[in-house]
Structure 1
Amino acid sequence: MKILCEWCESKNVERITSSVFWELPDGTRAIEISETPTFSCPDCGMIYQSEPIVKEIENQLYLIDCKPLGKVVSFEELMAIPRLLKKNYFDFSS
Structure 2
Amino acid sequence: MAKCEWCSSEKTKAVTDKVYWELPDGTKAIQIDETPAVHCLDCQMTYQTEVITKEIEDQLFLIDTKKLGKVVTFEELMAQPRLLKRNYFDFSS
TM-score normalised to structure 2 length: 0.97
Q: After the TM superposition, which residues 1-94 of structure 1 pair with which residues of structure 2 at under 5 Å, given as runs?
A: 2-94=1-93
1:12 shift after superposition: 0.7
Letter in 2 for 1:92: F
| 3-state SS of 1:67 partner | helix
**Amino acid in the other structure paired with 1:88:** N
Please state how far the C-alpha of 1:35 moved relative to its aligned partner: 0.2
Residues matched between the structures, number:
93
Structure 1 CA distance, aligned partners of 2:55 and 2:67?
19
Following the alignment from structure 1 to structure 2, what is the Cα–Cα distance between the partners of residues 13 and 57? 22
Query: Where do 4+ consecutive residues of structure 1 move more than 6 Å?
Result: none
- State the distance in 1 between where 2:38 and 2:83 align: 30
How far 1:9 moved relative to its partner?
1.0
Instruction: List gaps (5 residues or longer) in structure 2.
Output: none
RMSD: 0.7
Cα displacement string for residues 10-63 of structure 1 (whole angstroms, at most 9, x for unaligned residues): 111111001100000000000000000011112112110000000000000000
In the alignment, structure 1 segments of 5+ residues that lack a partner are none
- Quick one: distance in 1 between partners of 2:13 and 2:21? 22
**SS of match in other structure, 1:39:** strand
